Structure 1
Amino acid sequence: MKKILFLLTASAAIISCSKVKDGEYLITGTAKGIENGKTIILQGQDPTTRMAVPLDTVKVENGKFEIKGKVTEPAFHTLIIQGANQPFPFILETGEINIEIDKDSIHKSKVSGTYNNEEYSKFNEDLTKTQKSLIDFQKKNTTKMQDAQKAQDTATINGLMKQYMQIQTEVQANTKKKYVAYAETHPKSYISALIIQSMINDPSNDIKKTESLYNALDESVKNTTPGKEIKTRLGQAKMPAVGASAPPVGSAK
C-alpha cells in the first residue's frame, strides 16, 4: 500500500512540475556567444498561402531566451537568429522544447525535449551517416575537380563525375530504404507522415505500399495536416481517370 501511495505521489509531482498544459509549448533556449538584445524570431507558415510568417519575437538575455504559446498540431517551424547565417528548423508541438543554438554553425544546433524533436534529431543523425560517403567524396575531390576544370582536363572531369554519380545513386537508394524503414517502425512520429507524403508525390512509388504505411499510422498522426493530405491523395489515386470507361454492369469484380 505504501508503495502504491509513493508511486501516485511521485506521478502527481511529475505532472505538477510540467510548465505547459496540453496544447501549449515552451521553448527554452541557450544561445551562447550571442549578445544581449539580439532578436530571435519564431517563424511559421501561413496555412493558406504557405508563405513564411513571423509568429513571435524575443530577445536574448544572458545567453538565454524563452518563447511560449499555443499550438494545435506538430509542424515544422524555424528560428531566425539575428546575425546567424541560416535559420534553425525544428518541430513546434505541445510540450517543453529545449534548443541549444550554435551561432557559428547553425546545423550543429540541437533540439530535444519532445517526442517528435527527439525523433527528428535521431533521424537526421542516421541520415548523415547514410550520406557520409557522398560528402567524403566531395571533400576529397573538390580541389582535384577545380584543378581539372582550370586545366580543361576533360578525362579527369568525366571520371570524377562518373564516380560521383555512382555514389549518389547508391546513397539515394539507401536513403529511400531508410525513409520507408523509419515510417514502418515509427507510426507515432510526425516524420513518418512527411515521409509518406513525399512517397505519394513520387509516381515511382508503389501506391499500395504507401497506403499500407498510412493505414498503420497512429490516429494522432493521421489527424495532422500532412496526414489529412495523404488521405485525400490516396482517395484521389483510387478514383478512375477522367475519360476512363466504367466496367459494364454485371461484370466480374
Structure 2
Amino acid sequence: MKKIALLLATISLLVSCNKDKYVVTGTIKGIENGKNVFLEKQDEMGQLKAVDTVQVKDGKFTFEGKAVEPEIHLIQVDGANGKVPFILENGDITMVINKDSIMNTKVTGTYNNDELTSYKKSGEQIQKKMMKFQEDNMAKMTEAQQKKDTVVMNSLRAEYMKFQEDFAKQSDTYVSSHPKAFISALIIEGMFNQMAPDVKKIEEYYNKLDKSLQGTKPGKSIKTKLDQIKNPTAAPQAPAMPQGAAPAPAK
C-alpha cells in the first residue's frame, strides 16, 4: 500500500509540476542535429520576431518558460517550409511535425491547443467543400465571364458565398459554446474586421466570456473597441492661440 501511495504521489507531482510554466516538446524527422528552431510571436507592429531559439537534437527540440497569459506563437524550423501556429500557455505542449507538411502538425497537451486543433478540423471540412466547388466550377465561371453571362456568374457567386456563411456559423456556434476557450476571444476580436460588424452580438459574446479571457490582450482589445463605439471620442480641437498672437492675415 505504501508503494502504491508513493507512486500515486509521484505521478501527481509530475502532472502538476508544469502548471506554472510551459514545456513545448517537438518531434521532427529528417532535420539534422544543430538546426535552429525559432519560437516566434507578433510584435506591436504586427511583425514576427523570435523570442527564443533552440537546436534540434536527435529529431527533437524543447522550449521552456513561463507564460503570463495564453497567446498565439509560431514555430519555425530551419530546413522546413512554413510555420506551426499554436497557443503558448503554461503546461506540457507536444507537437509532431512533418517537415514536408507543416500544416498537418498535431499540437496537443493543453486545453486551448486541443480546442484549436478541434476548431481547425471543423473548418477544414468546410474548406475542402469550398475547394471542390471551385475546381468543379472554374471552367463554368471562366466561360460565363467570357460570354458576360451575369446570370450564371451571380448564381455561382451566391453558391460560393454559402461557404462564407458556413464559416461564420462555425464561429458563432463555437463562441457560444466555449466561453473559456482562448480561441473564442480571438474569434470575437476578429468580428470587428467584418464589413458591417454586429456590435450587439460582439458585446453579448464578450460579456459571456470567462473573466480570465476578458483580461487577456484580445479580451482587452474587444473591450476597448466596444467602448470606442459606444463613446466615440470628440474630434480634436485646434490648439488655443497664445495670448497676444494675431490671427494670420486673410489671403
What's the TM-score, normalizing by structure 1? 0.81
Cα distance in 1 for residues equivalent to 2:196 and 2:163: 17
Question: What is the aligned-residue identity percentage?
Answer: 39
Give the greater-gyration-radius structure (CA).
2
Amino acid of the structure 1 residue aligned with 2:70:
P
Structure 2 residue 231 is matched with structure 1 residue 239: yes
1:96 aligns with: 92
The answer as to 2:135 corresponding to 1:135 is no
Whole-angstrom distance in 2 between the partners of 1:160 and 1:34: 50
Task: Give, in angstroms, the shift of residue 72 of structure 1.
Answer: 0.6
1:191-249 deviation digits (Å, cap 9, x = unpaired): 10011111234352321221111111111111110001111111122115748xxxxxx
CA separation of 1:61 and 1:232: change in aligned 2, threshold 3 A: same
Q: 1:205 aligns with which of 179, 197, 221?
A: 197
Aligned to 1:37: 34
How far apart are residue 65 of structure 1 and its match? 1.1
Matched position secondary structure for 1:213: helix
- Give the aligned partner of residue 249 of structure 1: none
* Pairing of 1:66-105 with structure 2 (within 5 A): 66-105=62-101
Query: d(CA) in 1 for partners of 2:14 and 2:25?
Result: 15
Matched ranges for 1:1-253 at <5 A: 10=8, 12-18=9-15, 20-46=17-43, 48-140=44-136, 144=139, 154-155=146-147, 164-202=156-194, 204-239=196-231, 242=234
**What is the distance in 2 between the residues matched to 1:194 and 1:120?**
11
Deviates more, 1:102-111 or 1:201-210: 201-210
Which residues of structure 1 form unaligned runs of 5+?
A: 244-253
Q: Indicate conservation of the 8 Å contact 1:19/1:26, yes or no.
A: no
Cα 1:153–1:165 change in 2 (3 A) is: closer
Residues 97-137 of structure 1, C-alpha deviation per residue, up to 9 Å, x if partnerless?
00110110111111010111000000000011122221112
Superimposed CA distance per residue, residues 142-196 of structure 1 (whole angstroms, 9 cap, x where no aligned partner): 6x489x69xx982499898656523330011111111111111000011100111
Check the 8 A contact 1:39/1:57 in 2, yes or no: yes
CA 1:170–1:113: 2 relative to 1, 3 Å: same
Q: Tell me which moved more, 232-241 or 104-113.
A: 232-241
1:18 partner SS? helix
Contact 2:27–2:96 under 8 Å retained in 1 = yes
Task: Name structure 2 gaps, 5 residues minimum.
Answer: 236-251
Q: TM-score, normalised by structure 2?
A: 0.81
Query: C-alpha separation between the residues in 2 aligned to 1:182 and 1:141?
Result: 30
* Structure 1 pair 211–59 and aligned structure 2 pair: CA distance change class (3 A): same
Label 1:194 to 1:36 Cα distance change in 2 as closer, same or farther (>3 A). same
Q: Is the 8 A contact 1:134 1:164 kept in 2?
A: no
Which residue identity lines up with residue 165 of structure 1 in the other structure? R
- Taking structure 1 as reference, are residues 157 and 28 closer, same or farther at Cα in structure 2, changes over 3 Å only? farther
Tell me, what secondary structure is at the counterpart of 1:187?
Answer: coil
How large is the RMSD of aligned CA atoms in angstroms? Answer: 2.9
Partner secondary structure for residue 237 of structure 1 = helix
Contact in 1 for aligned 2:18/2:92 (Cα 8 Å): no
Q: Which amino acid aligns with 1:221?
A: L
Q: Secondary structure at the match of 1:131?
A: helix
